[in-house]
Amino acid sequence: MSFVEVATTDELRDSSMIMAKVNGHEILLARVDDNYYSADNRCPHMGGNLSQGTLEGTVVTCPRHHSQFDLADGHVIRWTDFSGIKKSIGKLFKSPRPLKTYQVKVEGEKVLVDL
């Protein structure tokens, strides 16, 4: 594991997120109240592009089936917006899995992620 520069601070407004590619790996980078968070950009449900989702506080919502994860530690807040039988069947095939998160540090204007 080592810290890799993925962006500069001026690339991220407050309460926004971007996707960065590092060695072919998609990383989600978010800025909330001058704190930076990083996680896999692909949703652990079915690979939705999280950078195209929405961000409220540190909670990212997947654009595909609206699973929600807290970027602070990746825990699942909501596993899809399926309901009823669809939810039960969905959980059999895809049980809830947290989002993998990465440590972030800022050095000057550089935002570095521990990959």
Residues near ligand FES (CB under 6 A): 43, 45-48, 62, 64-65, 67, 80
Shortest distance, CB of residue 81 to ligand FES, whole angstroms? 8
Shortest distance, CB of residue 69 to ligand FES, whole angstroms? 9
Residue (of 72, 75, 1, 74) closest to 37 by Cα position: 72
Shortest distance, CB of residue 54 to ligand FES, whole angstroms? 12
The CA distance from 69 to 67, in Å, is: 7
**Is 38 or 80 the residue whose CB approaches ligand FES more closely?**
80
**Is 60 or 112 the residue whose CB approaches ligand FES more closely?**
60
- Residue 78 CA, chain-centre distance (Å), reads 14
- Which class for 57: exposed (0-12), middle (13-18), buried (19 or more C-beta within 10 A)? exposed
Shortest distance, CB of residue 68 to ligand FES, whole angstroms? 9
**Is 11 or 64 the residue whose CB approaches ligand FES more closely?**
64
Residue (of 44, 46, 49, 24) closest to 115 by Cα position: 24
**Is 4 or 64 the residue whose CB approaches ligand FES more closely?**
64
Q: From its phi and psi, is residue 35 left (phi > 0), alpha (psi between -120 and 50) or beta?
A: beta
